[in-house]
Amino acid sequence: MGEFYDFGLRLKELRQTKRMTQKQVAERLKLGVSTVSGYENNTKTPSLETLIDLARLYNVSTDYLLGVDNRPMLYLDGFTPKQARLIRELLDSFRER
């Protein structure tokens, strides 16, 4: 089969990449710290609504959170159309190498 997937570890890595504490995540999502810890330790499972909130907070797709698609996404929200075009062109130039 494929490589082992760990939902909690992915959440923890995303949180750490954002330089957030479990307390900060809990406050942003209106959850308890023990709930966030439970998600990261795979002892609790988020509701569909919370899963969507986590994806938005970490700026990833729900498929990425769930391990369905292991490619991180790059969202261009907040960029002007010109900036978004330049970012896509830069990424394309890296792919060509």
Which residues, at least 6 apart from 45, have a Cβ–Cβ distance to it below 8 Å? 39
Domain boundary assignment for the chain: 7-96
Long-range contacts of 16-23 (CB under 8 A, 24+ apart): 17/58, 18/57, 18/58
| CATH of the structural domain 7-96, one choice from 3.40.50.150, 3.40.50.2300, 1.10.260.40, 1.10.3720.10 | 1.10.260.40
pTM: 0.72
Confidence of residue 73 (pLDDT cuts 50, 70, 90): low
Rounded distance between C-alpha atoms, residue 89 and residue 86, angstroms = 5
**Residues 1-54: tens digit of each pLDDT:** 445 679 999 999 999 999 999 999 999 999 999 999 999 999 999 999 999 999
Give the CA angle between residues 92, 96, 97 to the nearest 5°: 125
3-state secondary structure of 63: helix
| CA-to-CA separations, 33 to 6, 23, 24, 57, 88, in angstroms, rounded | 20, 5, 9, 16, 37
